[in-house]
Structure 1
Amino acid sequence: MKFSDAALSAAPQSDHSRKKTLAAACLAHATHDGLSDLVYVFLPVWKDRFALSFTVLSLLRSAYSLTLAVLQVPAAALAMKMARPQQLLIGATLLTGSGWLLGGLADSVVLLGLALVLSGIGASTQHPIASAMVSRAYGREAKKPLGIYNFAGDLGKSLLPAGAAVLLGYLSYKSTVALYAIVSIASALLMWALFRSSENVGAAAAKHKPGDLPGQANPPAFYALLATGVLDSAVRMGFLTFLPFIVRAHGGTLAQTGLALTLVFIGGAVGKFACGWLSESLGMIRTVWVTELGTAALIGVVLWAPLGLALFALPLLGAMLNGTSSVFYGAVADVVDSHKLERAFAIFYTGTIGSGALAPVLYGVIGDHLGVHFVTVVVALTAVLTLVPVMVFASRVRE
Structure 2
Amino acid sequence: MSRALPLTAPPCDDRTATQRRSLGGACLAHALHDGYTDLLYVLLPVWQAEFGLSYAGVAALRSLYYGTMGGLQIPADRLAGRLSIRAALGLSTVVAAMGFVVMGLSGGLFGLCAGLVLAGIGSSIQHPRASLLVSDAYGRAARGPLGLYNFAGDIGKATFPVAVALMLGVLAWRPVAGLMALAGLAAAVALVAVLPRRPLPPAPSRAAGRDTGQSRKNFTLLMAVGALDTATRMGTLLFLPFLLEAKGGTGAATGLALALVFAGGAFGKAVCGWLGERVGVVRCVIATELVTALLAAALLPLPLGPTLMLLPLLGIALNGTSSVLYGTVPDLAPHGDTGRAFALFYTAVIGAGGLAPIAYGAFADRAGETAGLLMAAATALATVPPVLALRRPLKAAQAPV
Q: Shorter-chain-normalised TM-score: which range?
A: 0.7 to 0.9
Query: Of residues 318, 323, 329 in structure 1, which corresponds to 2:326?
Result: 329
What CA distance in whole angstroms lies between the structure 1 residues aligned with 2:24 and 2:393?
Answer: 40
Q: Tell me if structure 2 keeps the 8 A contact 1:64–1:117.
A: yes
What CA distance in whole angstroms lies between the structure 2 residues aligned with 1:350 and 1:10?
Answer: 36
* Aligned residue identity for 2:35: G
Where 1:180 maps in the other structure, the secondary structure is helix
**Counterpart check, 1:117 vs 2:114:** no
> Which residue of the partner structure matches residue 399 of structure 2?
none
Query: Of residues 224, 229, 233 in structure 1, which corresponds to 2:226?
Result: 229
For residues 304-360 of structure 1, what are the alpha-carbon distances to aligned partners after superposition, in whole Å with 9 as ceiling and x for unaligned?
A: 655544443332222212211233334445555563444444322221222222323
> Which residue of the partner structure matches residue 295 of structure 1?
292
Q: Tell me if structure 2 keeps the 8 A contact 1:54–1:365.
A: no
What CA distance in whole angstroms lies between the structure 1 residues aligned with 2:54 and 2:370?
Answer: 16
* Aligned residue identity for 1:347: L
For residues 190-248 of structure 1, what are the alpha-carbon distances to aligned partners after superposition, in whole Å with 9 as ceiling and x for unaligned?
A: 324445xx42339xxx6999986544553444323322221111222344455566666
CA, structure 1 residues 141+225, in 2 after alignment: closer, same or farther (shift >3 Å)?
closer
What CA distance in whole angstroms lies between the structure 1 residues aligned with 2:187 and 2:393?
Answer: 45
**Counterpart check, 1:186 vs 2:183:** no
> Which residue of the partner structure matches residue 88 of structure 2?
88
Identity of aligned residues (%): 44
Give the superposition deviation at 1:111. 5.3
Where 2:72 maps in the other structure, the secondary structure is helix
**Counterpart check, 1:163 vs 2:160:** no
Q: Tell me if structure 1 keeps the 8 A contact 2:137–2:203.
A: no
Where 2:90 maps in the other structure, the secondary structure is helix
Q: Tell me if structure 2 keeps the 8 A contact 1:40–1:244.
A: no
* Aligned counterparts, 1:70-149, within 5 A: 70-82=71-83, 84-103=84-103, 112-136=112-136, 145-149=145-149
What CA distance in whole angstroms lies between the structure 2 residues aligned with 1:310 and 1:357?
Answer: 27
Q: Tell me if structure 1 keeps the 8 A contact 2:147–2:269.
A: no
Q: CA RMSD in A?
A: 4.4
Q: Tell me if structure 1 keeps the 8 A contact 2:297–2:374.
A: yes
> Which residue of the partner structure matches residue 66 of structure 1?
67
CA, structure 1 residues 11+238, in 2 after alignment: closer, same or farther (shift >3 Å)?
farther
Give the superposition deviation at 1:35. 1.6
> Which residue of the partner structure matches residue 383 of structure 1?
380
* Aligned counterparts, 1:234-273, within 5 A: 234-241=231-238, 243=240, 251-253=249-251, 257-273=254-270
Q: Tell me if structure 1 keeps the 8 A contact 2:42–2:165.
A: yes
For residues 60-98 of structure 1, what are the alpha-carbon distances to aligned partners after superposition, in whole Å with 9 as ceiling and x for unaligned?
A: 44332332222222222222212x443332232122223
* Aligned residue identity for 2:32: T
**Counterpart check, 1:318 vs 2:326:** no
TM-score normalised to the size of structure 1? Answer: 0.76
Q: Tell me if structure 1 keeps the 8 A contact 2:104–2:177.
A: yes
* Aligned residue identity for 2:86: Q
* Aligned residue identity for 1:159: T
For residues 106-158 of structure 1, what are the alpha-carbon distances to aligned partners after superposition, in whole Å with 9 as ceiling and x for unaligned?
A: 67766544433221111111123333344555677766654543332222222
Query: Of residues 342, 348, 354 in structure 2, which corresponds to 1:351?
Result: 348
Where 1:124 maps in the other structure, the secondary structure is helix
CA, structure 1 residues 362+298, in 2 after alignment: closer, same or farther (shift >3 Å)?
same
CA, structure 1 residues 359+121, in 2 after alignment: closer, same or farther (shift >3 Å)?
same
Where does the alignment leave 5 or more consecutive residues of structure 1 unmatched?
none
Q: Tell me if structure 2 keeps the 8 A contact 1:103–1:177.
A: yes
Where does the alignment leave 5 or more consecutive residues of structure 2 unmatched?
397-401
Where 2:116 maps in the other structure, the secondary structure is helix
* Aligned residue identity for 1:318: G
**Structure 1 stretch displaced more, 321-330 or 366-375:** 366-375
Q: Tell me if structure 2 keeps the 8 A contact 1:166–1:258.
A: no
Q: Tell me if structure 1 keeps the 8 A contact 2:147–2:323.
A: no
> Which residue of the partner structure matches residue 200 of structure 1?
198
Q: Tell me if structure 2 keeps the 8 A contact 1:34–1:159.
A: yes
What CA distance in whole angstroms lies between the structure 2 residues aligned with 1:354 and 1:85?
Answer: 24
What CA distance in whole angstroms lies between the structure 1 residues aligned with 2:69 and 2:270?
Answer: 25
Number of residue pairs aligned between Structure 1 and Structure 2 = 390
